[in-house]
């Protein structure tokens, strides 16, 4: 596996600290509202990284936090006249619902900042003792960036340049800061704010302190990989490094991965521009699998644009992801049908091993086929399987990995047609194609084992309207609806068990 490391600005071979194990931390959302599609990009991208590494045989400790104390949460609580902890609890619950709906596996641990305050106080005290932090008159504790020589190594800037990028934090005691870039480790509580007692003052920790306490605690020491959105490189991740490394003398994380921004209609997404889209909103129109496919169609380090029609209803990018998604689903459905297989349970690890082993054993034997068309197909399929894995091994190039999968679908569709028209049969070939697509399903977390609930509500309404028309003996209308459905690529059959449908 090669990973582009923000720390060195190079693609590097991935070597874990401990053999076959990965300790990974991804900065999670601040929970003051429903998660937006910008939050979803690192969630999906690094979830695929985790799935792929697990598929490749690693044990992955995947930690992602919820920031449950922050100015935004406090503001929201004041607006709604409730406790900040109620706001946080509510939106953690909602975030988990959304993460599930976009196929994100739950992290191994999801620590919350407010449950780790003791550890943060301990770290801050230790930094003061070691001369890396200092307290000013009002109780604010600052990290002294001049005490950490490597400050700026992640963002590749020197201290003067960093002055421009720093986010000014509204705290008292600012005039007593030693250096412009010194950042807050602990701040005194204002009237009515949540607070914790500490040796410094009654208050709460600064945002940058939480991750460098939770990450090593839950990952078990220094990290292999620390990841997040590129907006976190500075100051958040730079400040995490400064605290952890000056406190322990050890490297915080060997590899730093950052995903690029998601833009809406080629503009930055922000609440003030009014173009803020929640995951919930998108999922109500397109399912989580389609959304994932869209997200993964672009390499994670490239900016991703998402546009919406002027009427606000359709997204051209998601429409095209939807068409591709349906094409893969139909292909898998037909392969299951031809082989007379039930859809396997991909959550069962045994099933997963079986899929992989069987496809490899088919591969080992395919030279026995003398039919040139079949042996050529096997060869191409094997090539695309290897391309799929190679591309993911190359700094998680999901865009090119997906292209390999579409080639597999093209080959499969050709043989499905041959089966339908000429009664072509070759179980091994169909099995191999099916298994490759199921491996894709597992690694990308895109469910292509078609389910009825994936039907568009529009199509569902048409099927219901047709049943209604038939019940009312309005056969003309029923036939018209059947025709409309056919134009949408849906064939319906009336069976004793009710209406069945399939895509063509
Ligand atoms: Zn963080």
Q: How far is the CA of 256 from the centre of ligand 1 (A)?
A: 12
Contact criterion met (CB below 8 Å) for 419 and 429: no
Tell me whether residue 248 is in a domain: yes
Judge whether 125 and 310 are in contact, CB under 8 Å: no
The Å distance, Cα 29 to ligand 1 centre, comes to 9
Q: Which residues are paired to 257 by β-bridges?
A: 227
Residue 120 CA, ligand 1 centroid: distance in Å: 13
- Residue 352 shares a structural domain with residue 290: yes
Q: How far apart are CA 478 and CA 480, in angstroms?
A: 5
Do 243 and 279 lie in one domain? The reply is no
Which residue shows structure tokens 């380090």?
A: 301
Q: Compute CA distances 103 → 277, 290, 292, whole Å.
A: 18, 11, 8
User: How many angstroms does the Cα of residue 182 sit away from the middle of ligand 1?
Assistant: 18
Is the domain of 220 the same as that of 283? no
Based on the fold, state whether residues 435 and 466 are members of the same structural domain.
Answer: no
Residue 104, helix vs strand vs coil: coil
Q: Which pTM was predicted?
A: 0.88
CA distances from 188 to 141, 173, 180 (A): 9, 10, 20
Query: Quick check: is 85 in a domain?
Result: yes
Q: Is 134 domain-assigned?
A: yes
Q: How far away, in angstroms, is 26 Cα from ligand 1 center?
A: 7
**Are the beta carbons of 426 and 381 closer than 8 angstroms?**
no
Nearest to residue 253, comparing CAs of 498, 8, 43?
A: 8
Would you say the C-alpha torsion 401, 276, 448, 455 has a positive or negative sign?
A: negative
Residue 490: helix, strand or coil by DSSP?
A: strand
- Residues within 5 Å of ion ligand 1 by Cβ? 27, 211
34 within 8 A of 94, measured Cβ to Cβ: yes
Please indicate, yes or no, whether residues 420 and 275 belong to a single structural domain of this protein. yes
217 in a structural domain: yes
Q: Report residue 455 as tokens.
A: 């039907």
Rounded distance from Cα 383 to ligand 1 centre (Å): 40
Q: How far apart are CA 411 and CA 378, in angstroms?
A: 10
Between the CA of 200 and the centroid of ligand 1 the distance, in Å, is 23
**Distance from the alpha carbon of residue 281 to the mean position of ligand 1, in angstroms:** 26
Consecutive H or E run containing 9: none
Non-local (6+) Cβ contacts of 190 within 8 A are: none
Three-state secondary structure of 138-192: CCCEEECHHHCCCCCCCCCCCHHHHHHHCCCCCCCCHHHCCCCCCEEEEEECCCC
Q: What's the pLDDT at 170?
A: 45
Rg value, the chain, Cα? 27
For residue 484, the model assigns a pLDDT of: 87
Asked if residues 307 and 395 have their Cβ atoms less than 8 Å apart, the reply is no
Structure tokens at 347: 């959550």
Instruction: Quote the pLDDT of residue 455.
Output: 60
pLDDT of 341: 87
The boundaries of the domain holding residue 467 are 457-503
3-state secondary structure of 80: helix
Residue 169: which residues within 8 A CB-CB, separation 6 or more? 183, 184, 187, 206
Q: 264 lies in a domain?
A: no
Measure 306 CA to ligand 1 centroid, in angstroms.
Answer: 25
Same-domain check for residues 68 and 7 = yes
CA distance linking residue 177 with residue 144, whole number of Å: 9
Give CA–CA dist 502/33, Å, rounded: 39
Query: 127 in a domain, yes or no?
Result: yes
Q: Is residue 200 part of a domain?
A: yes
The CA 30 to ligand 1 mean position distance, Å, reads 10
Q: Are strands 59-64 and 21-26 parallel, antiparallel or unpaired?
A: parallel
Residues 29, 92: Cα–Cα separation, whole Å:
9
- Bridge partners (DSSP) of residue 188 are 203
How many other C-beta atoms can be found within 10 angstroms of the C-beta atom of residue 418?
Answer: 14
Q: What is the pLDDT of residue 172?
A: 53
* Cα 319 from Cα 294, distance rounded (Å): 9
Nearest to 289 by CA among 448, 64, 149, 140: 448
- Distance (angstroms) between ligand 1 centre and the Cα of 18 equals 23
Task: Give tens-digit pLDDT for 320-365.
Answer: 999 999 999 999 999 999 999 888 888 887 877 788 888 888 888 8
pLDDT of residue 53: 97
Q: How far is the CA of 376 from the centre of ligand 1 (A)?
A: 50
Q: Are 291 and 40 in contact (CB under 8 A)?
A: yes
Distance in angstroms (rounded) separating the CA atoms of residues 504 and 485: 11
| Domain tally, the chain | 3
The pLDDT, as a whole number, for residue 47 is 98
Q: State whether 403 and 368 are in the same domain.
A: yes
Do 101 and 233 belong to one domain? yes
Contact 306, 264 (CB under 8 A): yes
According to DSSP, the residues that pair with 223 across neighbouring strands are 253
Here the CATH number for the domain that contains residue 25 is 3.40.50.620
213, 240, 259 - which closes a domain: 259
DSSP string, 193-260: ---B--SS-SEEE-HHHHHHHHHHHHHTSSEEEEEEEGGGIIIIIHHHHHHHHHHHSS-SEEEEEEEP
Please check whether residues 302 and 389 belong to one and the same domain: yes
Separation of 151 CA from ligand 1 center, angstroms? 17
Give me the helix-helix angle, 207-219 and 238-248, nearest 10°. 60
Q: Are residues 139 and 224 in the same domain?
A: yes
Rounded Cα gap, residues 341 and 118, in angstroms? 54
- Contact between 67 and 455 under an 8 Å Cβ cutoff? The reply is no
The pLDDT value recorded for residue 175 is 76
| C-alpha 28 – ligand 1 centre gap (Å) | 7
Residues 85 and 182 in one domain: yes
Domain-embedded: residue 282: yes
Last residue of a domain, one of 428, 450, 472: 450
Name the domain boundary from 194, 224, 259: 259
What residues of the chain score a pLDDT lower than 50?
169-170, 452-453
**CATH number where 338 lies:** 1.10.730.10
Q: Distance between CA atoms of 314 and 326, rounded to whole angstroms?
A: 17
Q: Are residues 238 and 304 in the same domain?
A: no
């Amino acid at each position: 596996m090669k990973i582009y490391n923000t720390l060195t600005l190079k693609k590097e071979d991935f070597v874990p600290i401990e053999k076959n194990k990965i300790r990974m931390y991804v900065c999670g959302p601040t929970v003051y509202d429903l998660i937006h599609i910008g939050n979803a990009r690192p969630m999906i991208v690094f979830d695929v990284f985790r799935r792929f590494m697990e598929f490749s045989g690693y044990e992955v400790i995947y930690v992602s936090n919820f920031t449950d104390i922050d100015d935004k949460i406090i503001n929201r609580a004041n607006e709604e006249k409730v406790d900040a902890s109620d706001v946080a609890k509510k939106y953690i619950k909602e975030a988990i619902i959304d993460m599930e709906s976009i196929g994100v596996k739950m992290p191994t641990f999801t620590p919350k900042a407010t449950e780790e305050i003791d550890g943060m106080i301990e770290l801050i005290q230790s930094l003061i003792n070691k001369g890396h932090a200092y307290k000013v008159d009002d109780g604010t504790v600052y990290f002294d960036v001049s005490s950490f020589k490597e400050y700026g190594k992640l963002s590749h800037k020197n201290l003067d340049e960093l002055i421009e990028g720093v986010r000014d934090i509204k705290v008292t005691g600012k005039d007593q800061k030693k250096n412009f870039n010194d950042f807050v480790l602990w701040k005194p509580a204002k009237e009515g704010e949540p607070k914790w007692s500490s040796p410094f003052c009654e208050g709460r920790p600064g945002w940058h302190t939480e991750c460098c306490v939770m990450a090593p605690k839950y990952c078990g020491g220094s990290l292999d990989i620390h990841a997040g959105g590129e907006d976190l490189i500075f100051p958040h991740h730079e400040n995490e490094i400064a605290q952890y490394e000056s406190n322990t003398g050890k490297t915080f994380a060997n590899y730093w991965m950052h995903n690029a921004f998601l833009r809406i209609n080629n503009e930055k997404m922000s609440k003030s521009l009014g173009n803020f889209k929640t995951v919930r909103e998108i999922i109500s129109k397109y399912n989580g699998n389609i959304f994932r496919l869209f997200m993964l169609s672009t390499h994670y380090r490239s900016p991703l644009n998402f546009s919406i029609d002027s009427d606000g209803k359709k997204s051209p990018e998601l429409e095209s992801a939807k068409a591709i998604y349906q094409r893969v689903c139909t292909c898998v459905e037909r392969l299951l049908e031809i082989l007379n297989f039930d859809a396997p349970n991909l959550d069962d690890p045994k099933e997963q091993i079986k899929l992989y082993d069987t496809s490899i054993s088919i591969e080992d034997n395919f030279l026995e086929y003398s039919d040139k068309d079949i042996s050529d197909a096997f060869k191409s399929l094997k090539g695309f399987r290897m391309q799929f894995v190679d591309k993911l091994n190359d700094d998680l190039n999901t865009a090119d990995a997906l292209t390999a999968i579409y080639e597999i679908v093209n080959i499969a569709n050709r043989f499905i047609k041959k089966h339908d028209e000429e009664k072509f049969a070759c179980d091994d070939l169909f099995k191999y194609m099916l298994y490759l697509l199921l491996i894709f399903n597992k690694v990308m977390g895109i469910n292509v084992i078609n389910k009825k609930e994936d039907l568009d509500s529009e199509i569902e309404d048409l099927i219901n309207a047709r049943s209604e028309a038939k019940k009312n003996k309005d056969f003309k209308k029923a036939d018209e609806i059947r025709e409309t459905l056919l134009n949408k690529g849906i064939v319906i059959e009336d069976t004793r068990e009710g209406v069945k449908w399939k895509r063509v």
